[in-house]
Structure 1
Amino acid sequence: MADLSGLSICVLGGDRREAELISGLIDSGARVSCFGTPTDGLRSEAAVAPSARDACSGANAVILPLSGTDSSGNVKITSKPVSITRELLAAADPAAIVLSGVVRPCLAADCAALGVRLVDTGEDDELAILNSIPSAEGAILMAMQATPFTIHNSNCLVLGPGRTGLTLARMLQALGAHVWGAARKAPGRARLFEMGIAPVDFADLAHCLPQMDIVFNTVPSLVLDRSLVYLLKRTAVIIDLASAPGGVDFIAAAERGIHAELAPGLPGKVAPLTAGRILARVIPRIIEDEFGKGERKVRSLDEEHRPGR
């Protein structure tokens, strides 16, 4: 378990996952303040601040939801709106770090202006691999709900052999599906072949799309354009797990009469408890790594509250 004793941590916004995260931070020895976070299931040791600024005041780390901020600088919340501004982040400790699952230009610019370290938790391999489990389960659930046939013996194509794509392909295999995987690079196709998944180059998608029953996309850029969408059967289903706007021409899919859904952020929707426990396992380790084990130079809580300071 990570040792975060002596650190003051602020958690802004979020959903049920953050309650589990806060519990993990407390177990690691941190003092936690939160704002805009659901209070159901929140441990009594966590301080619910009256404002975002109060929660951030003097914090050594500011944690934003995995979804990060939107283009206007607002974080996803359950009860109270939270706008992440430069003035708000300035209330944290000068040596603080900011953790966000998605880094928008506005957040990056504010952190750079303040000289604050910005940590993109979405790039952490441990977090991404563990999150791929509820993501894959959620994607399969959506496919089951959208189709009149079983996953077993169906033809499934997974676009992108990344951390989520590989987990999803393996689960589909276990359910008895015939699985294809599309990868741009030879090493990715080699990994798919090693797993017993039929490898496809993105340049050759046109040859396999007509026989597909379900297409899962994990690539956060347009990969299924109009011409490719129109190669699919009208009975096909598309589940797009990429962050908005996804990698599918949804207008073309609607015109074609194909059921297509954009479904980012599935862990928090289909398995918030597990997803929260994943955060509680990984985020404390990331914070400890950022400050350096046994070498962080932050004022202890006792020192901060000595008389005369």
Structure 2
Amino acid sequence: MLTGMHIAVIGGDARQLEIIKKLTELDAKLYLIGFEQLAQPFSGAYKEKIEDVDFSQLDCIILPVPGTNLEGEVDTIFSSDKVVLTEEILNKTPSYCTIYSGISNSYLDEIVNQSKRKLVQLFQRDDVAIYNSIPTVEGTIMMAIQNTDITIHQSKVAILGFGRTGMSVARTFSLLGAKVKVGARSSAHLARITEMALTPFHLENLKDEVSDLDICINTIPHLVLNAGVLAKMPPNTLIIDLASKPGGTDFRYAEKRGIKALLAPGLPGIVAPKTAGQILANVLAQLIAEDYENRKGNKS
């Protein structure tokens, strides 16, 4: 139970509703910032404007998966008001206040470091990333079907990156009968790709591997599908970029060549927000409870 815990949930999408539901069931007191247009009531959760919250009482702050943008703004689909998280706000919180976010960026890192608060990035955890890859894969399949006029079966598919999402995507497309090859840099990843009966290639050779693709799925959050690579790609290739914004594709050049390139970060929140929210809610509940118990133990 989280009785006595004071938690601010700032912005987010439908995934946050599962988090709110879970934490209120555990008897935490929640302040919902950026939820003015949310009709669904939650016992123990109170809608607040950010300027009206007493941050000195907070045990933790929960941000949506993207965290903030580079100006500190937090996405709030349940509010038309702009919500900005600042260093000044964090300085008002107790020194033990923990900030939870899916991912981070230079702005969020900076204000957390300057305020000497603790930041937990949920998507750096193996359990969250692996569970989250399930709705990501389903969403990727949906996009591939909607945006091509061929079957996935027997299609030529390249997966770029062999992290937790890349591995799940590669395995599933292969099981659907696609001819899958996977680009990676790590020798261990290349060995694992081979062990899974997929075709490996080193990302240094990417230009030589795209000339006959039907679908290219990128999971690498760096510019890998640059103009030089796209120039070698057939115009009818579909690119699905799963990397966090701004993705790993030169979208301007792709459009110029007539290649359909779709940036699709946050697919779990689009195709399966309830499941994706439950994944985050269960991990958050565990982490917050452990943090609370540790603080009580230190006091005693």
Q: Name the residue aligned to 1:11.
A: 9
Cα distance between partner residues in 2 of 1:218 and 1:200: 15
- Return 214-223 or 262-271, whichever deviates more: 262-271
1:232 to 2:230 alignment: no
Q: Name the residue aligned to 1:303.
A: none
Q: Deviation per CA, 1:12-45: give whole Å up to 9, x if none.
A: 0011111101111123342222111362444222
Counterpart residue identity of residue 14, structure 1 = G
Q: CA deviation at 1:93?
A: 2.3
- Does the residue aligned with 2:262 lie in a helix, a strand or coil? strand
With a CA cutoff of 8 Å and minimum separation of 6, indicate the structure with the bigger relative contact order.
Answer: 1
Q: Name the residue aligned to 1:144.
A: 145
Q: CA deviation at 1:275?
A: 1.1
- When residues 7 and 299 of structure 1 are mapped into structure 2, their CA distance, relative to the original with a 3 A threshold, is farther
- Does the residue aligned with 1:179 lie in a helix, a strand or coil? strand
Q: Name the residue aligned to 2:269.
A: 268
1:44 to 2:81 alignment: no
Q: Name the residue aligned to 2:29.
A: 31
- Return 102-111 or 57-66, whichever deviates more: 102-111
- Return 3-12 or 215-224, whichever deviates more: 3-12
- Return 45-54 or 211-220, whichever deviates more: 45-54
Q: Deviation per CA, 1:52-80: give whole Å up to 9, x if none.
A: 55164411000111111001001111113
Unaligned runs of 5+ in 1: 301-309
- Does the residue aligned with 2:149 lie in a helix, a strand or coil? coil
Counterpart residue identity of residue 168, structure 1 = V
Q: Deviation per CA, 1:95-140: give whole Å up to 9, x if none.
A: 1011122222222222222221111222111111111111111122
Aligned length: 296
- Quote the RMSD (CA, aligned, Å): 2.0
Runs of 4+ in 1 over 4 A off after TM superposition: none
Cα distance between partner residues in 1 of 2:183 and 2:96: 43
Unaligned runs of 5+ in 2: none
Counterpart residue identity of residue 76, structure 1 = D
- When residues 34 and 55 of structure 1 are mapped into structure 2, their CA distance, relative to the original with a 3 A threshold, is farther
Q: Is contact 2:129-2:165 (8 Å) kept?
A: yes
Counterpart residue identity of residue 71, structure 1 = L
Q: Name the residue aligned to 1:58.
A: 57
- Return 93-102 or 164-173, whichever deviates more: 93-102
> Equivalent residues in 2 for 1:110-129 (5 A)?
110-129=111-130
Q: Name the residue aligned to 1:307.
A: none
* Residue identity (%): 39
What is the TM-score with the length of structure 1 in the denominator? 0.90
